[in-house]
Amino acid sequence: MRIIGGKYRSRVLSEFPGEDVRPTSDRAKESLFNILALKLYGARVLDLFAGSGSLGLESLSRGAKEVVFNDFSKDSLAIVKKNLAALKIPVNGEEAKVTQGDYLSCLSVLRGKFDLIFLDPPYRFDYGKKALEIIAQKGLLSENGIAVYERDRAFEGEVDGLEKYDERKYGKTYVTFFRIKKEG
């Protein structure tokens, strides 16, 4: 696993051994970040199900101002911290905040708005829809913010307060884009 673009381009990241954690493929990540390119500079980003931190680290590499990395797993956060150290980014400094807890706990204590929120929960659980509902209820997306939900099937249904405006398929992965629903 590596960083695709930006100031840390081509840097190899630590990742989990085995198949238990499924990082976003380089192809999907490159396409995703090409779509998000104009949203990244100076952005505040939430990587809610951080895993190895790949999406948040790519965001920092491409100019994000701050990334909040959250995961339930201590092992995941150890990898995130190891990757931040390799890039010489202080943990819990201005650029990177690392929190441990389930997504419900994390969303309940977050303050402020995010320009970009990544939701890449374990595929076997359907945490993403509930997370999107809470994000909308709490107003965690900035006016022009985007929530990106990665999963193994197309998104069906609606989320009050958000609109699905795009969806892409990369191999077996679906990436769905949401923004604040405009009234009228």
In terms of Cα–Cα distance, which of 96, 157, 27 is closest to 176? 157
User: Which parts of the chain fold into alpha helices (H)?
Assistant: 26-40, 54-61, 74-86, 103-109, 127-138
Q: What is the mean pLDDT of the chain?
A: 92
Q: How far is CA 171 from the centre of its chain?
A: 19
Q: What is the pLDDT of residues 110-119, one digit of tens each?
A: 999 999 999 9
Identify the band that residue 126 occupies on the pLDDT scale cut at 50, 70 and 90.
Answer: confident
CATH architecture of the domain with range 26-180: 3-Layer(aba) Sandwich (3.40)
Residue-wise pLDDT for 127-180, tens only, equals: 999 999 999 999 999 999 999 999 999 999 999 999 999 999 998 899 999 999
**At what angle are helices 26-40 and 54-61 packed, to 10 degrees?**
40
State yes or no: pLDDT of 46 exceeds 80.
yes
**Cα–Cα dist 115/21, whole Å:** 26
From first CA to last CA, the distance across the chain in angstroms is 43
Q: 51-80, pLDDT tens digit by residue?
A: 999 999 999 999 999 999 999 999 999 999
Question: How far is it, in rounded angstroms, from Cα 181 to Cα 164?
Answer: 9
pLDDT at res. 55: 96
Which pLDDT tens digit goes with each residue over 97-107?
999 999 999 99
Question: Can you give the pTM of this predicted structure?
Answer: 0.94
